[in-house]
């Protein structure tokens, strides 16, 4: 009997997920069908090599988007993640190339850099009334500036095979970044759906004042969310530096926009209080497949930015009308 109840609960959750995300799932399916049958892309889009290439390309954005989902559900925004990618990448690469540290120690440095900046963001936002937009805009510039100061504007190259494994290696046929991405998505979904912290994030994003009256420590929630976002950016930074064989001070430029796009396209409300990691996964896939399709069609990179901007605007408009209907 209990097994039947458990199965029914899973079926109900799956049905609810399909219902909530039907629109973006249809959009994803239409995009895939178009690229699979269009003459210019049909021969290359559905190949296993291209599928893994898409997953590898979206892996860093997915990490950022998982953290950004929590931030936006909370009612905030984190503009610093792209610059954290650069700073964590150059410092972790520098630890290997300049100081000869073991690779595990260098990777830890990269993650800790992200955690530190995330904690700075979270601490200021939790303890003051300064808007998250302003706080993370400031740390975005600080982190980017520090990356350029440390490198002098030049890449920090690392050519060892061990360094390249994290961003360009494989376990069997699966790229390592894809495996890391799946683990992060599962952890993020568990936090949001199965923990007290996840429930508190939704509560604070829905109504911070009511959350205070309910006994929720709002400052603790804000601190955790921004620290988590920083860790995700730090991890993305070392993966990208590994894949590029170097830490680049210009890495991650515009990455925060791709992460926000994935979150918003995935159905998370910019006004806070609602959204799902599952929707963000679909949103990141849409952005990734859109980028891949435009590349296969040889669309100029400048026009690709225009298309992505239009997609974000449409997603925000849909969210606006959906919110106002309620």
Q: H/E/C letters for each residue in 70-109?
A: HHHHCCCCCCCHHHHHHHHHHHHHHHHHCCCCCHHHHHHH
Report pLDDT for 6. Answer: 57
Decide if 37 is inside a domain: no
Report pLDDT for 320.
73
Question: Does residue 266 form part of some domain?
Answer: no
Residue 287 phi, psi (nearest 5): -65, -45
The count of structural domains within the chain is: 1
- The rounded distance, in Å, linking the Cα atoms of 63 and 36 is 27
| Segments forming the whole domain that contains residue 161 | 51-252
With H, G, I as helix, E, B as strand and everything else as coil, classify residue 124. helix
Residues 160-217 pLDDT 10s: 888 999 999 999 999 999 999 999 999 999 999 999 999 999 999 999 999 999 999 9
The reply to whether 144 falls in a domain is yes
Residue 172 lies in a domain: yes
Q: Is residue 18 part of a domain?
A: no
pLDDT at 16: 77
- The answer to the question of residue 63 being in a domain is yes
Instruction: Output the pLDDT for position 3.
Output: 63
Best CA proximity match to 251, nearest among 63, 81, 100, 65: 81
Task: State residue 255 phi and psi, 5-degree precision.
Answer: -65, -35
Tell me the whole-structure pTM to 2 decimals.
0.91
pLDDT in tens, 19-43: 777 888 888 898 899 999 998 888 8
| Low pLDDT (below 70) residues in the chain | 1-11, 322-323, 325-326
Question: Residue 3: inside a domain, yes or no?
Answer: no
Residue with tokens 């993966």: 239
User: Are 89 and 241 a contacting pair, CB within 8 Å?
Assistant: yes
Q: Tell me, yes or no, whether 214 lies in a domain.
A: yes
**pLDDT value of residue 161:** 85
């Amino acid at each position: 009997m209990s097994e039947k109840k458990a199965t029914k609960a899973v079926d109900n959750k799956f049905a609810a997920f399909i219902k909530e995300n039907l629109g973006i799932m249809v959009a994803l399916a239409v995009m895939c069908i178009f690229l699979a049958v269009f003459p210019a892309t049909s021969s290359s889009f559905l190949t296993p090599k291209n599928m893994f290439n898409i997953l590898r390309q979206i892996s860093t954005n997915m990490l950022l988007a998982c953290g950004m989902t929590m931030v936006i559900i909370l009612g905030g925004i984190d503009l610093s993640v792209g610059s954290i990618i650069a700073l964590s990448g150059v410092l972790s690469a520098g630890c290997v190339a300049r100081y000869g540290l073991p690779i595990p120690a260098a990777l830890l440095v990269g993650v800790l850099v992200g955690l530190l900046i995330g904690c700075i963001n979270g601490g200021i936002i939790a303890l003051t009334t300064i808007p998250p937009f302003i706080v993370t805009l400031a740390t975005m510039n600080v982190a980017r500036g520090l990356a350029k100061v440390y490198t002098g504007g030049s890449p920090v190259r690392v050519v060892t095979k061990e360094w390249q494994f994290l961003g360009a290696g494989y376990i069997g046929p699966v790229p390592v970044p894809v495996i890391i991405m799946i683990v992060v998505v599962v952890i993020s979904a568990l936090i949001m759906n199965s923990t007290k912290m996840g429930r508190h994030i939704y509560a604070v994003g829905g109504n911070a004042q009511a959350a205070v009256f309910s006994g929720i420590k709002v400052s603790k929630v804000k601190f955790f969310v921004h620290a988590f976002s920083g860790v995700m950016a730090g991890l993305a930074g070392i993966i990208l530096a590994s894949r590029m064989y170097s830490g680049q001070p210009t890495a991650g430029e515009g990455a925060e926009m791709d992460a926000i796009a994935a979150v918003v396209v995935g159905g998370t409300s910019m006004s806070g209080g609602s959204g799902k990691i599952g929707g963000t996964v679909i949103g990141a896939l849409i952005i990734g497949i859109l980028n891949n399709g435009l590349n296969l069609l040889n669309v100029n990179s400048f026009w690709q930015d225009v298309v992505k901007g239009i997609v974000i605007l449409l997603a925000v408009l849909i969210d606006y009308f959906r919110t106002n209907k309620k």
